[in-house]
Structures are given as structure tokens and as C-alpha cells.
Amino acid sequence: MKVAVIGATGLVGSVMIKILEERNFPVTELIPVASENSLGKDVLYNDKKIAVTTIENAIAKKPDIALFSAGSEISLQRAPEFANKGTFVIDNSSAWRMDKNKKLIVPEINANILTKKDLIIANPNCSTIQLVMILNPLHKKFKIKRIVVSTYQSVTGSGIKGVDQLGFESADLPVAEPAYPHQINMNIIPHCDTFTANSYTKEEMKLVNETKKILNDNNIKVTATAARVPVEGGHSESVNIEFEDEFNIEDIFEILQSSEGVKVLDDPEKNIYPMPLFAQGKDDVFVGRIRRDFSLPNGLNLWIVADNLRKGAATNAVQIAEYLIKNRKIFFSL
């Protein structure tokens, strides 16, 4: 497989390359693409230096798969050009997520809806992915009525500018290009992405809309608050769920413990619960603090943590590519 990575020198793009290597993806040619500022640079793949190239050169090479993480504008302009060459585009931006003609995929949940015609495939928002990984098996069993989610999102979610701002502020150095309107060090900012006309941020509306699309249920009521916290990697979520059906707490544990890609960490007596410190570098979604919400019938509280650069972005995209390869007789001409 010829694989192009668009945005190869960015935070997510570099993790995509790392995960392709870790998971022994069958790459015959890696085509790293970045902006003009990165031309002349190399990326390291399987101990080999590969020169960064232009997107025009990548399109001309007709890769089998193109992993995009270069922002919505580039995706809207360039993804169709790859698709027109027969390339499967897996896009990590928000460009195509709510397009009614594009599939929004978390492989453990809905990869089976993909067809050969789906040449542009949307990768969900990082905070949405870890949320639906927990919600999906519970929704199948008990039918979710309403979700209230509050996110505590690390600075890597804002790219290198967010990481730099936290680092410079922590060292008491001036920040040339801040990612946030306020100091992030020793602070929490209840503001992820830009505000919309309804006073919710785009990040909050992504959680609302993408959750419904992935779970294929527009009747679920979702409300969200997204905050940025001074953590370098790993997003956390406090989630309150109201089910339509009654449940036993033992069944919740059993369902989650048997769910692919999910790890339950829940032993309050031993202070065991998910934290971003332990999620970094891992591909699983971690869940704990599992307990009833006694304020309403059929209510449940959860705490969810995942590495936002891996399962929240790069790993999920590579897993979609792996699904295409696993079912190559459907998706590729042999």
C-alpha cells in the first residue's frame, strides 16, 4: 500500500507515522506531505529518513490511502483531488464530519457501514471518539435518553501552539503566539474552539452532533461544556447518562469490561481511576468512577480518559485504514 500522510510534520501527523510503524501497517511507500515551510525536512519511518514532499506530488503518485491532518481548509480543497484518483482519504479535520454524504467512523462501532464508494471518510473529533467508545455498548443495552458531558482537554488538542504556550508560561517566559485568550498555566479556560451563535463553542457542538451521527440516533439529547486544562496530553470527561431502561451497576461493569478498546480502571478503595498521566501513549479508552446517579431514575456517572493524539485522532484513523486493508477484496481492485 502506498500511504500519504498530509500534515506529516504536525502533532497528529507525526503520531500517525509512528502508529503506522508500531502496528506494522503494510506500507510499500510512505509519502509524507507538509507545508512549504517543511519542504527540505525529513520524517523518520522504520529507521529510514523520507523527504517531505508537496501535496501535488502526492496526488500524482496516486496513493492507495491518504491520512489527512492538515486542517479543514486543506481537506476541503484537496481531499476530493485524491478521491478523484481513487485514493481513500481518511480525514482528521472537521471538514466532512457532518456532511450527510460522508461516513463518520469509529471502527469498533460502525466501520461496517463503509462501502467502496466512500472515498472520503471522516475521523471524529478527539473528545467524541472516547465518549462514544463508552456510550455505544451501553446504548445498545439500555438505550440512552440524555447525556451531559464536561470535558477537560489537554493543550495538545490545540497543536504545537498550545504545547508551547503551556511550556513557556510554566518557565515564566514570554509567549510570542499564544493559542488561548488567557494564561493556561495554573488555570482552566472554559473555552475550546470558537464560540457559535448559540453561545456554545464549536467543540461542544461537535460533541452534540457527532455523537448522534455515530450512534445513529438523533433522539439522544446531548449537552456539553468543554474546558482547556494545563495538561500536556490526554483528554478527560465527566459524563452523566440517563437511560430509558433500568440497569444493574454490575451489568455496566460487565459490558464495559468486555468492550473492545476499553479498559475499566475502577477501585476507589485503592485510588484507582483513569488519569491522563497514565493514558498517554496508549490506544485504549479508559473508564472509571462508575456509579449511579441517585438524583434521577436510571442515571449513571462515568469518568473517561484517552490519549487525544492516539485513539482520539491518529490511531482511530489508522484503524480505519486497517479495516480497509482487512477487507481489501471489497475496497481495492486486486
H-run or E-run covering 104? strand 103-104
d(CA 123, CA 321): 11
Is residue 206 within 8 Å of 125, Cβ to Cβ?
yes
Q: What is the residue type of 23? A: R
Q: Residue 209 in 3-state DSSP?
A: helix
Active site residue 235: yes
Active site residue 126: yes
d(CA 239, CA 135): 10
C-alpha cell at 209: 452532533
Instruction: Please identify which residue in the block is written with the cell numbers 492507495.
Output: 64
Separation in Å, CA 3 to CA 29, 32, 90, 232, 276:
6, 8, 11, 29, 30
Instruction: Please identify which residue in the block is written with the cell numbers 462515568.
Output: 302
d(CA 7, CA 16): 10
Is residue 13 within 8 Å of 34, Cβ to Cβ?
yes
Closest CA to 222 of 213, 233, 235, 231: 213
d(CA 35, CA 168): 25
Is residue 23 within 8 Å of 314, Cβ to Cβ?
no
> Mind telling me the catalytic residues?
126, 235
